[in-house]
Amino acid sequence: MSHIVLDHLGKSFGASHVFDDLNLDIEEGEFIVLVGPSGCGKSTLLRLIAGLEDVSRGNLLIDGACVNSTPAKKRDIAMVFQSYALYPHMNVADNMSFALRLAGVSKADRSQRVDAAADILGLSHLLKRLPRELSGGQRQRVAMGRAIVRDPKAFLFDEPLSNLDAKLRHKMRGEIRKIHQRLERTTIYVTHDQTEAMTMADRIVVMNAGQIEQVGEPRELYRDPDNLFVASFIGTPE
Ligand code: ADP
Ligand code: MG
């Protein structure tokens, strides 16, 4: 059974249609990269999957069940944003465990989960630091740590590396893939960076003007684009 299914999914804000009739089956553990021009609805789709926006038309299925009316906190999905939104007055460990504390997870369990996530992310020596004492890459790792400690079934990333310089982006790409190999969680990763899409994806989903233009493995899209839009989007060098 597919993990996440978009079934004729549509979203409007009032009279403005963002997308209509999106259909996609995402398998458990798959790394999907979602690409498309600014304003085509990528963030809206992620927010809808996370439960932060309501479905306007069609159905969203998780593990075969329709979750259109399931609140975000019951979906077991964690989202990582481009802006890290760390709490400035809390140290790294507290930033990572805050949501767990709100969820009533015991102190011992929290600290064990923070230690495990910090180990994966190479943050173990920074747990007592404040966000302002960290580099951009380290802050992005803390934001990922907040998602990992929740042990969600799926991760959604919304352009997580776009604030970082090219060298760090390259490094973090590899790290995110490694974390994915280790945790084997379904991941949907939004980017407008072709290199990220080509190097990270199991399958790339190309969106344009509220439609899915093509879905396929990176090599397949590169060699065999369905249309001019996909060809130019995938084929243009960075
Ligand atoms: P992307 O992430 O691909 O750049 P978005 O999903 O952010 O695109 O936006 C898609 C479209 O939906 C845009 O035209 C945007 O203005 C519109 N939109 C997004 N959120 C809202 C909202 N809360 N209210 C009204 N329009 C919105
Ligand atoms: Mg966006």
When pLDDT is cut at 50, 70 and 90, the band that residue 162 belongs to is confident
The answer to pTM > 0.90 is yes
Is the pLDDT at 238 greater than 80? The verdict is no
* Ligand 1 lined by 13 (C-beta under 6 Å): yes
pLDDT at 236: 60
Is the pLDDT at 179 greater than 70? The verdict is yes
Give yes or no for a contact between 145 and 121, defined as CB atoms under 8 angstroms apart. Answer: yes
Q: What is the DSSP letter of 90?
A: S
Mean pLDDT within 28-55:
96
| Residues whose Cβ atom is located within 5 A of ion ligand 2 | 43
Tell the residue number behind the tokens 């809206």, with chain if given: 44
Helix (H), strand (E) at residue 60 = strand 57-62
Residue of 9, 11, 12, 13 to mutate, ligand 1, most atoms within 8 A of C-beta: 13
Q: Measuring CA to CA, which residue among 154, 238, 135, 142 is closest to residue 196?
A: 238
* Ligand 1 lined by 15 (C-beta under 6 Å): no
* Ligand 1 lined by 54 (C-beta under 6 Å): no
Pairwise CA distance, residues 164 & 161, whole Å: 5
Q: What is the DSSP letter of 13?
A: E
ipTM of the complex: 0.98
Percent of the chain past pLDDT 90, that is, above it, reads: 84
Residue of 44, 47, 54, 193 to mutate, ligand 1, most atoms within 8 A of C-beta: 44
Ligand 1 centre distance from Cα of residue 121 (Å): 31
Helices (H), the chain: 42-50, 92-102, 107-121, 136-148, 166-183, 194-200, 218-223, 228-235
* Ligand 1 lined by 87 (C-beta under 6 Å): no
